[in-house]
Structure 1
Amino acid sequence: MKYVIGVDLGTSAVKVLLMNQLGEVCVEISQPYPLIQEKSGYSEQDPEEWVDKTITAISMLVKGFGGSLDDIEGISFSGQMHGLVLLDQQNEVLRNAILWNDVRTSNQCEEIYKLVGKETLLKIAKNPALEGFTLPKLLWVKEHEPELYRKAKTFLLPKDYLRFRLTGQIHSEYSDAAGTLLLDVANKRWSREICEAVGVDLTLCPQLVEPHQFVGTITSEIARRTGLSVYTKVFAGGADNACGAIGSGILEVGKTLCSIGTSGVVLSYEEKKERDFKGKVHYFNHGKENAFYTMGVTLAAGYSLNWFKESFAQKEDYDTLLTGVEEVAIGANGLLFTPYLAGERTPHADAFIRGSFIGVDSSHKRIDFVRAVIEGITFSLNESIEIFRDGGKKIDTIVSIGGGAKNDTWLQIQADIFNVKIQKLSSEQGPGIGAAMIAALGCGWYSSLNECAESFTKVVKTFEPIEKNVRQYEELFRLYKKVYQSTKEISEGLASFRN
């Protein structure tokens, strides 16, 4: 039996999966690492943490592996998007990585619009200038850390840096590059026009490759530290959402994904590069060659539930926290939550908005708040689905992965709020499975990702919308959508009181 490894470099942890040729997850190991948040709105990580924890996780996997190491043929990567890693002339890291959920770059976003033009940016990069993207971070460093910026030779995205450390080879690939605002998405090349407009040297952009492309083998040092064979093949990989799409079988028109991790996304397959949502949702290159996907984002999806647990139930696990949530009536007994803990992305590109509980009553119990948080996260994701539908997309079935797929009550809530059939897979680790599938394709196990998906993705449970619940949630959703405008000015006024 042959095996591949999928590495999913997330925001809070790296997850490493060992999968065999039958599409089975044989081993799954996770290693956490911390965020660095020196100021409100700042979010950074030490890239060395990614390397050390990945090596630790792989070495643990190898130690428990009973077969021949030569049977582990390939490895590939999924990774958090948009993060900025700057390297100097010696390929040494110049500063901590600035992450996707860092929102310090509002001024730089305005500068991009001024220098490039909003219409030109949407035409080339297919996305608006938002604080989370890579280019605003690059311009922030250029303005606030000019000496450091002058030392930079290249920038990399998080999983591309990790892959560089394992192979010694520097590349980026299209699905992750699409989240930088520097890629000509339709034509799959770095945009000279954007670079020249904002004053970024095109040579800072790394060489581009296809996600499934072979980019080398692991170095002898990494082989020694992990226990892997030096002949282990390495393939470029993809952005976490692109890999999540691959690992969930979102590989043809009509397929849609809901992924609830730290952030939450609703993602739908596209095969045409001409599709235009006017910047209301994201439009990125897929991990499948010459394909694309549209995507809406909730910045603090699973993070909202994690925040609630850490703030009010720190010593409990999630199963305990959610016990009884199925007994709480729809609408959490008159309580609404908006998950704007870190600002919002879709449909409100707003770095300053903050979350709210609306309708708090003395009769409310903790479990009502838990239900409200879950419903609020799902309402936020439904705003993206509404944009898709308004744009003419038919959505009647959604594959759900991530933390939101671990609880059957939450899956039923998704079916009722989205008014679709929800499919649960045998594993909710979509991005890691997608990375493993890229490696399997690269190793020649399959002729296409679609063929690979027949073995690697398995639906184990389906949740149908309940008509009565759908009607109730439609009424609540109308109320939910009013909260943003009602609290926007208040959130902006409170900004000066935050540390």
Structure 2
Amino acid sequence: MTVPVIVALDCSTSACKAVVFDLSGETVCESRRYVTTTSPRPGWYEQDATQWAEGLADALTSVADLLPPSHRPLALGITHQRETFVCVDRDHHPIRPAILWLDNRAEEQVARLGGDAVQAATGKPRSTLPSLYKLAWLAEHEPDTLRRTHQVLDVHAYVSHYLTGVAVTSWASADSTALVDLATRDWSPELLRAAGLTRQQVPELAAPGDRIGGLRPEVARRTGLPVGLPVVAGAGDGQCAGIGVGGLAPGTAYLNLGTSFSLGAFVPGRPTYPGLRTMAAPVPGHSAVETLQPVGGMTLDWARDLLSAPDRSAVEAAAAEVPPGAGGLLFLPYLGGRETPVHRSDVRGAVLGLGGRHGAAELLRAVVEGLAHDQRDCLDLLRQATGADLRRVIVTGGFAQSALVVRIFSDVLGVPTAVAPEREGTALGAAVVAAAAGPDAPYADVPTAARHMTRPAATVAVDAHAAEYHEAVRPLRAGVLAGFDATEHALTALRHL
């Protein structure tokens, strides 16, 4: 008996992952290859794009080897880190390292080019995240790079070219660049000019679910996958994560706890809201509205590494025994700046209330609580702006596997918090899109595919006592934040002495 399956590629910030799902959303096999991020200057982050191709080829080869003979791939879906781009020559070889989404070299360009008009057209508030501003930086600081550039490719287009020989991206992928008009789902001529590009220097746009082409013979030979396997246009990792964890259900928000923390919800239409990011969704008639904590996962890793030597599990267990409030500590989790509700790359974090009686367990708990309160700020803003009645949050990503994190987040958010049963929820979202691609696809549309391929998540109920404590903290924390900006200006000046 032949078992139909979908292959999903997730080229994230840290790794290129290949995951094979059956049509009920169960994982058949998976593999990953890690990629290296370099930082040539403080605040600059780059990757060698050829590692994406090598990584995905190796990962695909591994899953093809693991795939039982009875399983037949129907299609290959794509998802990826957003906003990251690479400049390539006519042979589609990188001219320089790819510039990542978390790179903040373009502050001057954001100040000059960003604003209400850009957000109205693209749904993207002022921020160094979108490619627009970093491309404008290249035009000013590396003009020869853009002169030599045949095309600027997001990760989707680069992967598409490797797989099929055609550089195509989805408008639900390119949307994050702030070069795509939300209303037309096409490249904006005005914003391309602002970035120093021509229309010929950007890839063709496809709709999510469109079939881009078939797997090239060279890639098929290397990986062991079928020649001509349909490659399907996907979407960015945030939107795919929302789909893959069940975020299409009414009253549900999704929270991706990865390198960054991204909280979002699917809403009808193409609305834009101050301080929030509207992302094109691979769901007809809907958009994803998101918040962002750019270094949420990095902050947790920093705290764990700093406080957990030599035994990470022991200090996490000890932190779970510390009562809510961490002995009177308040952590402001802005080690890499803020994005929601206002872009402030110069802001840094703080620990308030620190005393000699505090140890590693209290400090780790304070870090998790501080990140959770930041996400509560985001949830409140998302509700207020969109009017959505968000009564449940589903978490996914690496840090969703921590019982300490999920417990504290549930109590601070004040709503039942569920852990997505599929750890690779982002890849599953890409598989859902691919499973609804074309007239002969297994499912008629993305919502139908999502209903069949996503499963109910185990819910962590709110602890009433802890939630009451955290509600009392909310106005106190708001008062601290209100006075923090003035202090932060002084600290910024101090850092530059």
The change in CA–CA distance for 1:124 and 1:57 in structure 2 (over 3 A counts) is same
> What do residues 298-325 of structure 1 show as CA deviations (whole Å, max 9, x unaligned)?
00111111122334446656x4552233
Number of positions where the alignment pairs a residue of Structure 1 with one of Structure 2: 489
Q: Which residue of 1 aligns with 2:59?
A: 57
Contact 1:340 1:354 in 2 (8 A): yes
Contact 1:253 1:270 in 2 (8 A): no
Deviation at 1:390, TM superposition (A): 2.2
The change in CA–CA distance for 1:90 and 1:14 in structure 2 (over 3 A counts) is closer
TM-score relative to the length of structure 1: 0.93
Deviation at 1:356, TM superposition (A): 1.9
Aligned counterparts of 1:12 and 1:477: Cα–Cα separation in 2: 34
- 2:138 match: secondary structure: helix
Alignment of 1:58-137 (within 5 A): 58-68=60-70, 71-113=72-114, 118-137=115-134
> What do residues 59-100 of structure 1 show as CA deviations (whole Å, max 9, x unaligned)?
11122222157x112111111110121112222211111101
The change in CA–CA distance for 1:460 and 1:292 in structure 2 (over 3 A counts) is closer
Alignment of 1:292-331 (within 5 A): 292-313=287-308, 316=311, 319-331=313-325
> What do residues 342-362 of structure 1 show as CA deviations (whole Å, max 9, x unaligned)?
222112311111222222221
The more displaced of 251-260 and 326-335 is 251-260
- Structure 2 residue identity aligned to 1:66: P
Alignment of 1:465-476 (within 5 A): 465-476=462-473
The change in CA–CA distance for 1:313 and 1:411 in structure 2 (over 3 A counts) is closer
Q: Which residue of 2 aligns with 1:361?
A: 355
User: Is it true that 1:233 corresponds to 2:230 in the alignment?
Assistant: yes
> What do residues 151-208 of structure 1 show as CA deviations (whole Å, max 9, x unaligned)?
1122111233122211111112122222111111122111123334554323222211
> What do residues 417-455 of structure 1 show as CA deviations (whole Å, max 9, x unaligned)?
111121222113211111111222226011122221222
Contact 1:281 1:384 in 2 (8 A): no
> What do residues 17-57 of structure 1 show as CA deviations (whole Å, max 9, x unaligned)?
11112221111222212210111101111111111111111
The change in CA–CA distance for 1:184 and 1:337 in structure 2 (over 3 A counts) is same
- 1:49 match: secondary structure: helix
Deviation at 1:11, TM superposition (A): 1.0
Give the share of equivalent positions with the same residue, in percent: 25
Q: Which residue of 1 aligns with 2:496?
A: 496
- Which of the numbers 384, 388, 406 marks the counterpart of 1:393? 388
Aligned counterparts of 1:173 and 1:155: Cα–Cα separation in 2: 14
- 1:179 match: secondary structure: helix
Contact 2:16 2:55 in 1 (8 A): yes
- Structure 2 residue identity aligned to 1:75: L
- Structure 2 residue identity aligned to 1:333: G
Alignment of 1:382-421 (within 5 A): 382-391=376-385, 392-421=387-416
- Which of the numbers 20, 31, 34 marks the counterpart of 1:32? 34
- Structure 1 residue identity aligned to 2:366: A
Aligned counterparts of 2:159 and 2:272: Cα–Cα separation in 1: 33
Q: Which residue of 1 aligns with 2:485?
A: 485
Aligned counterparts of 1:196 and 1:44: Cα–Cα separation in 2: 24
Deviation at 1:487, TM superposition (A): 4.1
Consecutive unaligned residues of structure 2, counting only runs of 5 or more, are none
- 1:477 match: secondary structure: helix
Deviation at 1:287, TM superposition (A): 2.1
Alignment of 1:329-340 (within 5 A): 329-340=323-334
Aligned counterparts of 2:220 and 2:380: Cα–Cα separation in 1: 48
The change in CA–CA distance for 1:365 and 1:457 in structure 2 (over 3 A counts) is same
Aligned counterparts of 1:410 and 1:449: Cα–Cα separation in 2: 31
Deviation at 1:457, TM superposition (A): 1.3
Q: Which residue of 1 aligns with 2:155?
A: 158
- Structure 1 residue identity aligned to 2:290: M
Deviation at 1:127, TM superposition (A): 1.6
The change in CA–CA distance for 1:386 and 1:171 in structure 2 (over 3 A counts) is same
Contact 1:400 1:424 in 2 (8 A): yes
- Structure 2 residue identity aligned to 1:349: H
User: Is it true that 1:16 corresponds to 2:21 in the alignment?
Assistant: no
- Which of the numbers 272, 277, 282 marks the counterpart of 1:276? 272
Aligned counterparts of 1:253 and 1:284: Cα–Cα separation in 2: 18
Contact 1:249 1:450 in 2 (8 A): no
- 1:66 match: secondary structure: coil
- Which of the numbers 5, 8, 11 marks the counterpart of 1:6? 8
Aligned counterparts of 2:309 and 2:137: Cα–Cα separation in 1: 35
The change in CA–CA distance for 1:439 and 1:315 in structure 2 (over 3 A counts) is farther
- 1:75 match: secondary structure: strand
Consecutive unaligned residues of structure 1, counting only runs of 5 or more, are none
The more displaced of 99-108 and 412-421 is 412-421
- Structure 2 residue identity aligned to 1:299: P
Contact 2:260 2:295 in 1 (8 A): yes
Contact 1:251 1:288 in 2 (8 A): no
Alignment of 1:143-154 (within 5 A): 143-154=140-151
- 2:433 match: secondary structure: helix
Contact 1:88 1:94 in 2 (8 A): yes
The more displaced of 413-422 and 263-272 is 413-422
Deviation at 1:475, TM superposition (A): 2.7
TM-score relative to the length of structure 2: 0.93
User: Is it true that 1:261 corresponds to 2:262 in the alignment?
Assistant: no
The more displaced of 222-231 and 42-51 is 222-231
Contact 2:170 2:233 in 1 (8 A): yes
Aligned counterparts of 2:207 and 2:63: Cα–Cα separation in 1: 27
CA-atom RMSD in angstroms = 1.9
The more displaced of 184-193 and 303-312 is 303-312
Alignment of 1:450-461 (within 5 A): 450-461=447-458
- Structure 2 residue identity aligned to 1:36: T
Aligned counterparts of 2:51 and 2:116: Cα–Cα separation in 1: 39
Q: Which residue of 2 aligns with 1:432?
A: 427
> What do residues 195-236 of structure 1 show as CA deviations (whole Å, max 9, x unaligned)?
345543232222111111100111112112211111321111
- 2:292 match: secondary structure: strand
Contact 1:246 1:288 in 2 (8 A): no
- Structure 2 residue identity aligned to 1:109: V
- 1:324 match: secondary structure: helix
Aligned counterparts of 1:203 and 1:255: Cα–Cα separation in 2: 40
Aligned counterparts of 1:165 and 1:383: Cα–Cα separation in 2: 41
Aligned counterparts of 1:160 and 1:178: Cα–Cα separation in 2: 13
